[in-house]
């Protein structure tokens, strides 16, 4: 089998930027790879995700329970694996993904009381990796950004790209709970946490990328 590297983190933590910088490293080394990004908003398999994030099932994230919402995202990943990258992975290919099952572990677990989260994380692992047969990541890099800085970055992105925040991105309390859930999930699953700020200031993309690349290189060479 190949290697699957996942970049995870709360909304606005810089996953897309770090994915780009990591793949630039790979290209410079001449390392063959493929990149993934979830959800796949342009694909029919993400229809329920788009309805959910657009508020058609409720205007707040908690209007759809963690288990139901998790299935929307899992189906999109299953379709992607079966129709797009399964052969590449099974033949030893390297894949780098912006989000994966890990995003359910962060965003959906944040809807649950803390005492119920470990049961959900065990269910999620069994559901996606055992029942659905999706590959388990070899490395999950959890980008940790303080929420007040995340919000600044997201508002700036909305202005620059003329986009509108979805029901996750515009709910401040939900974002804060997601960060707590992300750090707890990282401890539960054994993810690698990569700090994205120091002393209240955001680290440069290059500083963060250095840590991301260091951990990724160790994984690929191990």
111-137 residue pLDDT tens:
999 999 999 999 999 999 999 999 999
Number of domain units in the chain: 1
Write out the residue range of the structural domain in which residue 99 sits.
3-221
The tokens describing 203, both together, are 């680290």
Residue 183 has pLDDT above 90, yes or no: yes
What is the spatial distance between Cα 6 and Cα 140, in angstroms, rounded to a whole number?
5
What is the spatial distance between Cα 23 and Cα 30, in angstroms, rounded to a whole number?
10
Q: Round the average pLDDT of the chain to a whole number and report it.
A: 92
What is the spatial distance between Cα 125 and Cα 23, in angstroms, rounded to a whole number?
27
What is the spatial distance between Cα 121 and Cα 104, in angstroms, rounded to a whole number?
9
Give the pLDDT confidence score for residue 14 in this predicted structure.
87
62-98 residue pLDDT tens:
999 999 999 999 999 999 999 999 999 999 999 999 9
Q: Are 134 and 70 in contact (CB under 8 A)?
A: no
Residue 193 has pLDDT above 60, yes or no: yes
130-175 residue pLDDT tens:
999 999 999 999 999 988 787 666 666 656 665 665 566 666 788 8
What is the average pLDDT across 46-68?
Answer: 95
Q: Residue 180, Cα to own-chain centre: how many angstroms? A: 15
Q: Give the pTM.
A: 0.89
Percent of the chain beyond pLDDT 90? 79
205: domain CATH number is 3.40.50.300
Percent of the chain beyond pLDDT 70? 91
Give the pLDDT confidence score for residue 161 in this predicted structure.
62
Q: Are 17 and 205 in contact (CB under 8 A)?
A: yes
């Amino acid at each position: 089998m190949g290697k699957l590297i996942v970049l995870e983190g709360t909304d606005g933590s810089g996953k897309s930027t770090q994915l780009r910088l990591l793949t630039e490293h790979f290209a410079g080394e001449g390392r063959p790879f493929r990149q993934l990004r979830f959800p796949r908003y342009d694909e029919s398999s993400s229809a329920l995700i788009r309805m959910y994030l657009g508020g058609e099932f409720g205007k707040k994230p908690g209007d759809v329970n963690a288990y139901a919402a998790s299935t929307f995202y899992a189906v999109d990943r299953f379709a992607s694996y079966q129709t797009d990258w399964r052969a590449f992975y099974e033949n030893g290919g390297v894949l780098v993904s912006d989000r994966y099952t890990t995003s359910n572990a962060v965003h959906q677990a944040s809807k649950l009381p803390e005492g119920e989260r470990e049961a959900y994380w065990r269910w999620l692992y069994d559901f996606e990796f055992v029942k659905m047969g999706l590959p388990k990541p070899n490395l999950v890099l959890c980008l940790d950004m303080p929420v007040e800085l995340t919000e600044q970055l997201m508002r700036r992105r909305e202005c620059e790209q003329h986009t509108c925040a979805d029901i996750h991105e515009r709910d401040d309390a939900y974002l804060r709970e997601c960060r707590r859930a992300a750090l707890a999930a990282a401890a539960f699953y054994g993810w690698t946490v990569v700090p994205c700020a120091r002393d209240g200031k955001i680290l440069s993309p290059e500083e963060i990328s250095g840590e991301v690349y260091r951990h990724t290189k160790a994984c690929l060479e191990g």
